[in-house]
Structure formats: C-alpha cells, structure tokens
C-alpha cells in the first residue's frame, strides 16, 4: 500500500459526498450559507479565504465575503458578527485569523453564535469537545477534524495507539489531542518546554507535528511504521515546507502526509462539512 496520505484526493472525495447532501438541502428549500469575514489585507489570509470561497461555490454552498479595512474598530466588528448571527440565510460564520493587534480575538470568537461557529473555536464548542459531549450540537475545529479523517480514511486504527502531538495551540494541538483521546488513543502533548522531545516522538504510533518550524521533525525522531501527520505550513524562499523533513521521515513512516496536499485541503473540506451540518441544524 502506498505510504503517502493523499489529502488533496481525500478532500475531493469529501467535497463530492457533500455535493449530493447540498443538492438535497437545496431541494428542501435552501442551500447552506457561509459568511467569511476578512479583516485587513494579509496576503496569506487573502489566499486562504479565496480557496474557501472557491470550494464553497463549487459544491453549491452560498458564500459571502465581508472584506473590511484593518482600521475597523472592535465594536464595529462585533456589530458585523451580530448582524451575521441574525441573518437567517447564514448558517456558518468564519472570522479569518489572525486579527489586527487592536482587536481582541477571543472577544470576537465569543461573539459568534455557537450554532454558527463552523470553525469550532467558540468556548461552547471547545467545552463540549473537552467534556466529550456528543448529544448536543458540537462543531469541532476544521484542521483537527481533517487530521482524524486522514488517519481513519487511510485505515490506521486510533484506539489504544500512542499519539504524540507536537504543539499545543488552541486551533490545532489541543483540539486534535482531545479528538484522539475521544477515539481512545493514549495522548502526549509536547511543546517548547518538553525536556526530551525525541524520546517522546520515538514512542509515537501516530505523530502530529503542529509547530510552525520548517523541517523540525526529522526521520530519526520517527518510530518505524508510524503514521506521520504534518500540519506545518511554512513559506521558505517562496516554497511551502512542512514541519516534517519529508524525505527522512518517509523512510521510517508507515504512512505520511505531504505538504502541500496533506492537511491543508482537509481543513477546507471540513469547513464545508461543518457548514452543511450547520444548515442541517438550522433547518429551512
Ligand atoms: N494545514 C492547515 O490547515 C493549518 C496549518 N497550520 C500550520 O501549523 C503550524 C502550527 O500552527 P499553530 O498551532 O497555529 O502554531 P502556534 O505557533 O500557535 O503553536 C506552535 C506550537 O509549537 C510549539 N513549539 C514551538 N517551538 C517548539 C520546539 N522547539 N519544540 C517543541 N514545541 C515547540 C509551541 O510551544 P509553546 O506553546 O511552548 O510555545 C506551540 O505550542 C504552523 O505552521 C501553521 O501555519 C495552522 C492551522 C491550519
Ligand atoms: N478562522 C480561521 N480558520 C482557519 O481554518 C484558519 C484561519 N482562521 N487562519 C489561518 C489558518 C490556516 N489555514 C489553512 C487552510 C488551508 C490551507 C491549504 O489548503 N493549504 C494548501 C496549500 C495552499 C497554498 O498553496 O498556499 C496545502 O497544504 O496543500 C492551509 C492553511 C486555515 N486557517
């Protein structure tokens, strides 16, 4: 079996699955609606937002971009979020991060209706993830959810495995740890104060690298046969480089994601999935 986990292809398959669900929703009377809020003119954010809009349009999701100037005040931004909360054509709201320094990111995230929080960043959603709440509506963050899909669709069992996550951010490291724990992995979360990182990663059956440093995880840190998930997106001399040194890690891994074409496309596919789920929740 091929070792490479083809995130681009898996994301495409998921978009196809969603397409038919969306056409059913359309027949019921309304397609899902996604509002993307972009503050300022960060070129990376503009690229990502463009990709999200394109993906939405291709599968029949109504998407609207709210492109606002970086000088917008926090109050004005909160008003925009409130307007979208009250717009019944909009099922999902995504405020592209990072936000300018004068705006309190957490305050903006908390202002989003948790039932429209397709990014899964609102404390109601992270709290439900933390407490393992499965009965109430819960949106899980897109990148962590995409990582789980990649592992599962590759046929790698999670239950009982040692999963080591390098990185503890609120958007990747911490939530992916909870999703793996919920699937009965034994988890270890590493960070910049971890004493002997290599000793930890060598114990990983599933290794998730979300550090933000190019080629940080080398082959000698990878356990033979491990499933290696590279979340890193680092732009070096105009090229995209992951957090994993691909060639040396490939030699040792049993399965591995490339960058680009691994986790990135899945993040967008999961955003689409959450938006379809939000439309299901809101009804016609
Ligand atoms: N493909 C995708 O869809 C996405 C990709 N990304 C990419 O993933 C990467 C990580 O993103 P994000 O989680 O937001 O990053 P953050 O910068 O928020 O977090 C990085 C984490 O790495 C840890 N770290 C830094 N240096 C070391 C070190 N020397 N040893 C061990 N741990 C270290 C930090 O530890 P500490 O907490 O101690 O500082 C921190 O927890 C980035 O490249 C980002 O671009 C992010 C989101 C989506
Ligand atoms: N509110 C919010 N939600 C996010 O989900 C969010 C965010 N803010 N801010 C920034 C990060 C980053 N992120 C990525 C999405 C897609 C790719 C992606 O598709 N990458 C392609 C390559 C794209 C390229 O060529 O630049 C790949 O890896 O193959 C990467 C990164 C979402 N984020």
What is the CATH classification number for the domain harbouring 259?
3.40.50.720
Percent of the chain with pLDDT over 90: 100
Model confidence at 252, pLDDT cuts 50, 70, 90, reads: very high
The greatest distance separating any two alpha carbons of the chain, rounded to the nearest whole angstrom, comes to 56
The ligand 2 atom nearest the CA atom of 121? 1
What is the value of ipTM here, to two decimals?
0.98
- List pLDDT tens digits, range 231-243: 999 999 999 999 9
Among the bound ligands, the one closest to the CA of 208:
1
Number of domains in the chain: 2
Does residue 203 surpass a pLDDT of 90? yes
Cβ-in-10-Å burial (0-12, 13-18, 19+) of 131 comes to exposed
22-51 mean pLDDT: 96
70 is in an annotated binding site: no
pLDDT of the residue at 253: 98
End-to-end Cα separation, the chain, in angstroms: 44
Place of tokens 């016609």: 284
Binning pLDDT at 50, 70 and 90, where does residue 249 land? very high
Residue 277 in any domain: the answer is: no
Whether 196 is in a domain gets the answer: yes
Instruction: Round the average pLDDT of the chain to a whole number and report it.
Output: 97
Binding site annotation covers 169?
A: yes
Strand partners, 230: 209
Residue 1 has pLDDT above 90, yes or no: no
209 has a pLDDT exceeding 90: yes
Ligand 2 residue neighbourhood (C-beta within 6 Å): 47-48, 51, 94-97, 119, 142, 233, 240, 259-261, 264-265, 267-268
Q: Residue 213, class by beta-carbon neighbours within 10 Å (0-12 exposed, 13-18 middle, 19+ buried)?
A: middle
96 is catalytic: yes
Work out whether strand 33-39 and strand 92-95 pair parallel, antiparallel, or are unpaired. parallel
What does the pLDDT look like over 113-146, one tens digit per residue? 999 999 999 999 999 999 999 999 999 999 999 9
Q: Kindly report the number of other CB atoms within 10 A of residue 102's CB atom.
A: 10
Any ligand 1 atom below 6 A from CB of 244 = no
Instruction: Give DSSP secondary structure letters for 162-211.
Output: EEEEE---TTTHHHHHHHHHHTT-EEEEE-TT-S-HHHHHTT-SEEEE--
Contact 61 CB / ligand 1 (< 6 Å): no
Residues 93 and 45 in one domain: yes
Find the mean pLDDT for residues 42-60.
95
Q: Is 71 annotated as a binding residue?
A: no
- Say if 274 falls within a structural domain: no
Asked whether residue 271 is assigned to any structural domain, the reply reads no
DSSP, residue by residue, 211-238: ---TT-B-GGGSPTT-EEEE---EEETT
Q: Which of 6, 91, 117, 119 is catalytic?
A: 119
- Which of 48, 126, 259 should be mutated for ligand 2, with most atoms under 8 A from CB? 48
Within a domain: residue 278? no
Are residue 167 and residue 236 in the same domain, yes or no? Answer: yes
The tokens for 241 are 């480089």
State the residue range of the domain holding 93.
Answer: 29-115
Q: State which of 191, 193, 230, 261 you would mutate to test the pocket of ligand 1, scoring each by most atoms of that ligand within 8 A of its C-beta.
A: 191
Please check whether residues 185 and 84 belong to one and the same domain.
no
- Residues 70-119 have pLDDT tens digits of 999 999 999 999 999 999 999 999 999 999 999 999 999 999 999 999 99
* CB-based contacts of 257, cutoff 8 Å, min separation 6: 4, 5, 7, 150, 228, 229, 230, 242, 263
- Rounded to two decimals, the pTM is 0.98
Buried b (16+ CB within 10 A) or exposed e, 6-38: bbeebbeebbeebbebbeebeeeebbbbbbbbb
Shortest-distance Cα residue to atom 2 of ligand 1? 264
> Which residue in 6, 25, 52, 230 is the catalytic one?
52
Looking at the fold, whether 148 and 106 belong to one and the same domain comes out as no
Number of the ligand closest to the Cα of 192: 1
Give the domain CATH number at 100: 3.40.50.10860
52 is catalytic: yes
Query: 49: pLDDT confidence band, cut at 50, 70 and 90?
Result: very high
Per the annotation, the verdict on 119 as an active-site residue is yes
| Judgement on whether residues 33 and 96 belong to the same structural domain of the protein | yes
User: In this structure, are residues 280 and 26 in contact, taking their beta carbons and an 8 Å threshold?
Assistant: no
Mean pLDDT of 196-225: 98
- Give the residue among 218, 132, 97, 210 at the shortest CA–CA distance from 164: 210
């Amino acid at each position: 079996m091929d070792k490479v986990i083809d995130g681009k292809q898996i994301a495409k398959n998921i978009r196809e699955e969603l397409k038919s669900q969306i056409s059913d929703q359309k027949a019921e009377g309304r397609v899902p609606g996604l509002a993307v809020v972009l503050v300022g003119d960060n070129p990376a954010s503009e690229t990502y937002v463009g990709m999200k809009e394109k993906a939405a349009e291709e599968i029949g999701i109504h998407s609207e971009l709210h492109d606002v100037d970086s000088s917008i005040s926090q109050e004005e931004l909160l008003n925009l979020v409130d307007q979208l909360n009250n717009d019944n054509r909009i099922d999902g709201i995504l405020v592209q991060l990072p936000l300018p320094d004068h705006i309190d990111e957490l305050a903006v995230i908390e202002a989003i209706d948790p039932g429209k929080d397709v990014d899964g960043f609102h404390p109601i959603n992270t709290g439900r993830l933390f407490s393992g709440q499965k009965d109430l509506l819960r949106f899980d963050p897109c990148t962590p959810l995409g990582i789980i899909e990649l592992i599962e669709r590759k046929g790698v069992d999670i239950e009982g495995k040692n999963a080591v996550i390098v990185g503890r951010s609120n958007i990747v490291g911490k939530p992916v740890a909870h999703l793996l724990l919920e699937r009965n992995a034994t988890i270890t979360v590493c960070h910049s104060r971890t004493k002997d990182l290599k000793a930890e990663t060598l114990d990983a059956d599933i290794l998730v690298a979300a550090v933000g440093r190019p080629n940080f995880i080398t082959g000698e840190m990878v356990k033979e046969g491990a499933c290696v998930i590279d979340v890193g997106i680092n732009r070096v001399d105009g090229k995209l480089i992951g957090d994993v040194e691909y060639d040396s890690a490939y030699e040792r891994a049993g399965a591995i994601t490339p960058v680009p074409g691994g986790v990135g496309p899945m993040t967008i596919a999961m955003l689409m999935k959450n938006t379809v789920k939000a439309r299901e929740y809101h009804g016609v």
